[in-house]
Amino acid sequence: MFDLIVLGGGPGGYKAAENAAKAGLSVCLFEKRAVGGVCLNEGCIPSKALLYSAKLYDYAKGGAEKYGVTSENAILDYKAAVERKDKVVKTLVGGIEATLKSLKVTVIREEAAIEGKTSDGFKVGGQIGRNLIIATGSETIIPSIKNAETCLTNREILSLTEIPETLAVIGGGVIGLEMVSLFNSIGSKVTVYEALDKIGGPLDREISIMLQKIYEKKGVTFYLGAAVKDAAELGAEKTLLSVGRKASTKNIGLETLNVYLERGAVVTDAQMRTNVPNIYAVGDVNGKSMLAHTAYREADVAVNAILGKRDEMRYDAIPSVIYTNPEVASCGETLETAVEKGYKAVEKKISLKYSGRFVAENDGGDGICKLVVNNSDNRVMGIHILGNPASEIISAAAVAIERKMTVEQLKTVVFPHPSVGEIIAALL
Ligand code: NAD
């Protein structure tokens, strides 16, 4: 009998297990594959490891020349890069396993499902828990297009050890664009087919167009408004299917306790509670934001609810990053979404060339930083950046938006000089 059973060991699940164990609860965690989930094993981390090899290769094969550094006969040993990626994953998975062990979390490496309710709590995988957190994550959407089964998903593409000569990418969203960046750098001829009229999904339109132009210059071909109906027609050596992910809610016994679903995802409130008392759902399975860092925060909120601590999940200041080169990072509303929601919003923008640090490190390059402000109270509603290292700068934006700072308040914050991040201050 446990105080808490966690179903799924990805970022949402392992964070919840760690938090609960640290607070003194007895915890059992079920994971059918490896702890760390998709993010650590076949998503965020392995892709970043390979993208880093690709970035270094870009510099070695000529990108560093502008900075007075030349190297002859740059060679990419892709098998070695993949091996290193596997090592990075192994190290980090080992780290989580060690943490869970040290916190005395019982980890059961099995596929489990909700079996019912007893007088003591919920029966899951033969164990009883007073509380249950569902953290089963998400899975790749396989659309009903012809020959979809011949395509790679994020799982297989990260395990390729040979570089394909040609790569077709169905879906120019986050996964698609990161793989475009990787395979373009390492020598594949890449073509993107995107059903919408822009890449990057909810990305600010101007930034989306700028990013597309950058990759067109690097030799990538984009077809917009191109809903693929037959993957075989694309004629590429390899085809990646990256048309989105859906919550993993099948075969986990949710129907046994009548846990509500909406559009295939578990319905949760601001404390991550489902409609069944003492059952919570965190991470991709609730379909709210499908980002590892959202899952971490949702895990905090769910465990706090179990512990009786006041907490609340908010989704309006969650940063998102596309790890292309250059990176794109966004937080909060774009002008378009703010206006759609009825706000009197205004947008200010500035070229990253106004940052000394950016110019020093991005010879001939350009980027943009955009600020969306609510005109009625002067609060910061959104910040959007194209240019390296956008992923590191966006945290400042997240703080400003989460804390509902006004432009005047943000002006009093001192940004280090020289840093690319001080571009935000230049916009105020
Ligand atoms: P996505 O929703 O970002 O993009 C899918 C794209 O495919 C959309 O633009 C859609 O219009 C297009 N599409 C759908 N059907 C199509 C068709 N038949 N032909 C052509 N285009 C089609 O989905 P994704 O890129 O698969 O990413 C899945 C999830 O993984 C996202 O929720 C994302 O948040 C997460 N993820 C995040 C990161 C990150 O934060 N850096 C990285 C990778 C994945």
Domain match, 18 and 132 both: yes
Please indicate, yes or no, if residue 83 is contained in any of the structural domains: yes
Instruction: Provide the pLDDT confidence category of residue 332 given band limits of 50, 70 and 90.
Output: very high
Instruction: Tell me what pLDDT residue 206 has.
Output: 98
Please write down the HEC assignment for all residues of 125-159.
Answer: CCEEEEEEEECCCEEECCCCCECHHHCECHHHHCC
Domain match, 282 and 404 both: no
Instruction: Tell me what pLDDT residue 368 has.
Output: 98
Domain match, 113 and 9 both: yes
Instruction: Tell me what pLDDT residue 359 has.
Output: 97
Please indicate, yes or no, if residue 314 is contained in any of the structural domains: no
For residues 114 and 250, what is the distance between their CA atoms, to the nearest angstrom? 11
Closest by CA position to 177, among listed 203, 149, 155, 142:
203
Helices (H), 261-329: 292-307
How many A from CA of 139 to the centre of ligand 1?
12
Atom number, ligand 1, closest to the C-alpha of residue 291: 34
pTM of the complete model: 0.97
Atom number, ligand 1, closest to the C-alpha of residue 242: 26
Q: How many domains is the chain built from?
A: 3
Domain match, 329 and 345 both: yes
Instruction: Tell me what pLDDT residue 69 has.
Output: 97
For residues 147 and 32, what is the distance between their CA atoms, to the nearest angstrom? 28
CA 405, 411, 415, 418 torsion-angle sign: positive
- Tell the residue nearest (CA) to atom 17 of ligand 1: 227
pLDDT digits (tens, 9 = 90+) for 220-274: 999 999 999 999 999 999 999 999 999 999 999 999 999 999 999 999 999 999 9
Mean pLDDT, the chain, integer: 97
Helices (H), 3-77: 11-22, 37-42, 44-58
The radius of gyration of the chain's CA atoms, rounded to the nearest angstrom, is: 23
| Mean pLDDT (whole number) for 106-133 | 97
Instruction: Tell me what pLDDT residue 167 has.
Output: 98
- Tell the residue nearest (CA) to atom 26 of ligand 1: 244
For residues 230 and 233, what is the distance between their CA atoms, to the nearest angstrom? 6
Please indicate, yes or no, if residue 312 is contained in any of the structural domains: no
pLDDT digits (tens, 9 = 90+) for 61-71: 999 999 999 99
Atom number, ligand 1, closest to the C-alpha of residue 43: 43
Domain match, 37 and 20 both: yes
Residue where a domain stops, chosen among 268, 286, 307: 307
Q: Is the CB of 173 within 6 Å of ligand 1?
A: yes
For residues 299 and 313, what is the distance between their CA atoms, to the nearest angstrom? 10
How many A from CA of 379 to the centre of ligand 1?
30
Atom number, ligand 1, closest to the C-alpha of residue 173: 4
Domain match, 97 and 71 both: yes
Please indicate, yes or no, if residue 206 is contained in any of the structural domains: yes
Atom number, ligand 1, closest to the C-alpha of residue 228: 19
Residue where a domain stops, chosen among 243, 268, 299: 243
Contacts of 62 (CB under 8 A, 6+ apart): 74
How many A from CA of 385 to the centre of ligand 1?
20
Please indicate, yes or no, if residue 66 is contained in any of the structural domains: yes
Domain match, 156 and 25 both: no
Instruction: Tell me what pLDDT residue 286 has.
Output: 98
Tokens of residue 391, six digits = 């992923």
Q: At 213, which amino acid appears? A: K
| Sheet (strand 345-351) strand order | 320-322, 328-332, 379-386, 368-374, 345-351
Instruction: Tell me what pLDDT residue 350 has.
Output: 98
Contacts of 81 (CB under 8 A, 6+ apart): 49, 50, 53
How many A from CA of 175 to the centre of ligand 1?
6
Which is the catalytic residue, given 186, 224, 417, 425?
417
| Helices 78-102 and 11-22: angle between axes, nearest 10 degrees | 30
DSSP E strand boundaries for 295-403: 320-322, 328-332, 345-351, 368-374, 379-386
Name the helix (H) or strand (E) containing 339.
Answer: helix 335-340
Instruction: Tell me what pLDDT residue 188 has.
Output: 98
For residues 156 and 39, what is the distance between their CA atoms, to the nearest angstrom? 14
For residues 337 and 245, what is the distance between their CA atoms, to the nearest angstrom? 22
Q: Is the CB of 196 within 6 Å of ligand 1?
A: yes
Instruction: Provide the pLDDT confidence category of residue 19 given band limits of 50, 70 and 90.
Output: very high
Burial 146-183, CB ≥16 within 10 A → b, else e: eebeebbbbeebbeeeeebeebbbbbbbbbbbbbbbbb
Domain match, 299 and 220 both: no
Q: Is the CB of 224 within 6 Å of ligand 1?
A: no
Domain match, 126 and 255 both: yes
pLDDT digits (tens, 9 = 90+) for 146-204: 999 999 999 999 999 999 999 999 999 999 999 999 999 999 999 999 999 999 999 99
- If 0-12 CB within 10 Å is exposed, 13-18 middle and 19+ buried, where does residue 212 land? buried
CATH classification at residue 226: 3.50.50.60
384 is catalytic: no
Which residues face 122 on adjacent strands? 117, 129
Q: Give the whole-number percent of the chain exceeding pLDDT 90.
A: 100
Please indicate, yes or no, if residue 315 is contained in any of the structural domains: no
Please indicate, yes or no, if residue 384 is contained in any of the structural domains: yes
CATH classification at residue 350: 3.30.390.30
For residues 222 and 192, what is the distance between their CA atoms, to the nearest angstrom? 5
Residue where a domain stops, chosen among 214, 243, 272: 243
How many A from CA of 337 to the centre of ligand 1?
19
For residues 287 and 294, what is the distance between their CA atoms, to the nearest angstrom? 11
Domain housing 366: 320-427
For residues 77 and 53, what is the distance between their CA atoms, to the nearest angstrom? 10
Q: Is the CB of 243 within 6 Å of ligand 1?
A: yes
pLDDT digits (tens, 9 = 90+) for 39-94: 999 999 999 999 999 999 999 999 999 999 999 999 999 999 999 999 999 999 99
pLDDT digits (tens, 9 = 90+) for 383-414: 999 999 999 999 999 999 999 999 999 999 99
Domain match, 239 and 268 both: no
Tokens of residue 385, six digits = 């950046």
How many A from CA of 293 to the centre of ligand 1?
17
- If 0-12 CB within 10 Å is exposed, 13-18 middle and 19+ buried, where does residue 364 land? exposed
For residues 257 and 259, what is the distance between their CA atoms, to the nearest angstrom? 6
Domain match, 171 and 59 both: no
Q: Is the CB of 80 within 6 Å of ligand 1?
A: no
Domain match, 269 and 222 both: no
Instruction: Tell me what pLDDT residue 174 has.
Output: 98
Which residues face 397 on adjacent strands? none
| Mean pLDDT (whole number) for 128-151 | 97
Tokens of residue 307, six digits = 């512990």
Strands 122-124 and 27-30: unpaired
- Tell the residue nearest (CA) to atom 41 of ligand 1: 322
Q: Give the whole-number percent of the chain exceeding pLDDT 70.
A: 100
Place of tokens 């033969």: 126
